[in-house]
Structure 1
Amino acid sequence: MRGKLFLTGGSGMVGRNVLAHPLAANWDILHPSSRELDLMDASAVEAYIAAEKPDLVVHAAGKVGGIAANMAAPLSFLDDNLMIGRNVIMGARKAGVRQLINLGSTCIYPHAAPNPLREEMILTGELEPTNEGYALAKVVALRLCQFIRREAPEFQYKTLIPCNLYGPHDKFDPQKSHLLPAIIRKVYEAKLSNEPAVEIWGDGMARREFMYVEDLATLIFKAADNLEDMPELMNAGVGTDHSVNDYYASVARNIGWEGRFVHDLSKPVGMKQKLCDTSRQTAWGWQPETSLDEGIAKTYQYFLETL
């Protein structure tokens, strides 16, 4: 056993893939449910960490959603994530936990930042308005980790910044999900009902980078074993992106739907491009292994088997 690992967000997409990963067997993983531990309760979180004394905290919990969800409830995306991040990170610090992996998001990059997005661009400009609340909370968590290390370098509190994720245990509700699972659901339902067309928000030219979530789980365990050597901030991505139109076409090929796409130009599309610079990740010695077509095929199979 490598030690005791406290994982937040164990019932979420990232958390469930971490728990299902073969390398999880090397750790004694604590992953209390929200009923067992309310991460919004600072005193409860502090007491739990102090009592369990984990060797490592992996903070993967949070309120997440796509553009529609973020625009509908910016207050809760800011407030909930702000409290959760602060409670976990400061609870670990007060308990003397020396190692913590904080999961950020590429939404923390400025709206107008040039692509590919490099870690040093964070906090150099205004955030994307469609997910500003969530992004602000993630920036605060990142800064907490940096300030803790600045005051006490022996605390290895570091942040991984994943690109968009997809895969097993994702949400497939178009009102709540991210782009790829929403596309899978929409195209699948179009095939079932013999719909001749599927709507795409905007012109479909916005570009996004997606990584299969099992690859992120692999990276988290590599980081857990080599946290001192990992950069303080590190993007986690595939280093290439595709247009929204490309993702719709790829999903349609996998599902076998041969209809046409129509564009609603009145709908918001978020940032025109969001591509990670993966130089630090590559120099550190890691790259994801799952291709886009392979990942979409696996995700579609999961969707058919579970939903």
Structure 2
Amino acid sequence: MNKNAAILVAGHTGLIGSAVTRLLQAQGYANLLLPTRRELELSDAAAVATYFARHRPEYLVLAAGESGGIQRNQHFPADLMRPNLAIQAAVLEAAHTHGIKRTIFFASSCMYPKVCAQPMAEESLYSGHPEPTSIAYATAKMAGLQLCLAYNRQYGETRFIPVIPNSVYGPNDDFDPASGHVLSALLQRFHAASAAASREVTLWGSGTPRREFLHADDLAEACLVLLDETLATPALPINIGPGTDVSIRELAEIIAEVTGFAGQIVWDRDKPDGAPRKLLDSSRMRALGWTPRRSLQQGIQDLYDWYRQQPAHSSRKQPS
């Protein structure tokens, strides 16, 4: 990919988009298109078409959209489904119309069946129903994935690359316990509990479900591999995960250690757990030469170091 190629990162301030932007900038790509929401409302098909015609992007990373943890999925399913459907329809159509050389679309591991053989291979996507607590979000993401595959199939070109990352974390995530993903929400919970010298933290569920967690910077490196349109693309979609998982209980213990929380962790078993396990088979991505470089422990420590540097959190008590 030419260093002067016009690359549009839609959603460049979010968790995944900001990681892709950081990597592209570090690699010397000099023509990044990074519109703010004020400059471009991605759910407005006419505005998106006008932007593409004016700026003529050659490559697209579609990282925009709404997402959240189990609480947000449970209480605001329409708020997750509606904007994702609108953004996907508008942006993917513009990418097709304007001949984008390669588009990366981020689907979600939530699309996999609640009961699924582990690790989950891409062929298992349609073998059962997704976890009910996230079915609205999963359905929206499945629609985007299928739209990518439909463009490829109808027009005979592999320009659209749908990928399925697993539980991404990193800087610029949503750390609100009411709406954020599990890792970042737990980081904020334990940070606050440590600062207040709380005796206990109560968490949803049993702590037994297992998840694999992928640092956003590792995902960005995978995306850079896939943006190369000269690459012989494997079958689509493509799972992207580190290949190892931990229980939510183990995750909580790691975060408690990193944040310096010394109290008790209490599990509220009356609250839902979600799918029992979601481990991806990422052999398609690894066959392209990609390997994640960050361990979970180090990734969480790096994220917490970043988190404490943010103005909203820098005045809090530091762990000893």
TM-score tier by shorter-chain length is: over 0.9
2:54 corresponds in structure 1 to 51
Aligned: 1:191 with 2:197: no
The root-mean-square deviation of aligned C-alpha atoms, in Å, is 1.4
Aligned: 1:5 with 2:7: yes
Aligned residues of 2:70 and 2:274 also touching (Cα < 8 A): yes
2:231 and 2:55 mapped to 1: Cα distance?
A: 23
List aligned pairs for 1:114-193, cutoff 5 A: 114-193=117-196
> Could you tell me the TM-score, scaled by structure 1's length?
0.96
Of 82, 85, 91, which residue of structure 1 is paired with 2:85?
82
> Could you tell me the TM-score, scaled by structure 2's length?
0.92
1:46 and 1:110 mapped to 2: Cα distance?
A: 35
Aligned residues of 2:177 and 2:189 also touching (Cα < 8 A): yes
Aligned residues of 1:98 and 1:154 also touching (Cα < 8 A): no
Aligned residues of 1:4 and 1:54 also touching (Cα < 8 A): yes
Q: Deviations over 1:178-214 (max 9, x none)?
A: 1111111111111111111111211100111101111
Q: Deviations over 1:147-185 (max 9, x none)?
A: 111112234211111100111111211011111111111
Instruction: Give, in angstroms, the shift of residue 304 of structure 1.
Output: 0.6
Q: Which moved more, 1:218-227 or 1:179-188?
A: 218-227
Instruction: Give, in angstroms, the shift of residue 65 of structure 1.
Output: 0.8
2:65 and 2:85 mapped to 1: Cα distance?
A: 9
Structure 1 residue identity aligned to 2:251: Y
Q: Deviations over 1:229-288 (max 9, x none)?
A: 232211111011000000011111112222111110111111111111111122121110
2:158 and 2:125 mapped to 1: Cα distance?
A: 22
Instruction: Give, in angstroms, the shift of residue 27 of structure 1.
Output: 4.6
- Structure 1's unaligned 5+ residue stretches are none
Aligned residues of 2:120 and 2:279 also touching (Cα < 8 A): yes
2:99 corresponds in structure 1 to 96
1:86 and 1:204 mapped to 2: Cα distance?
A: 37
Of 279, 291, 297, which residue of structure 1 is paired with 2:295?
291
1:15 corresponds in structure 2 to 17
Q: Deviations over 1:94-138 (max 9, x none)?
A: 122232111111111112222211111112211211111111111
Of 214, 239, 263, which residue of structure 1 is paired with 2:267?
263
Runs of 4+ in 1 over 6 A off after TM superposition: none
Q: Secondary structure at the match of 2:227?
A: helix
2:90 and 2:137 mapped to 1: Cα distance?
A: 16
1:227 and 1:71 mapped to 2: Cα distance?
A: 42
1:248 corresponds in structure 2 to 252
- Structure 2's unaligned 5+ residue stretches are 314-320
Instruction: Give, in angstroms, the shift of residue 26 of structure 1.
Output: 2.0
Count of residues in Structure 1 that have an aligned counterpart in Structure 2: 307
Aligned residues of 2:59 and 2:101 also touching (Cα < 8 A): yes
Q: Percent identity over the alignment?
A: 35
1:276 corresponds in structure 2 to 280
2:209 corresponds in structure 1 to 206
Structure 2 residue identity aligned to 1:270: G
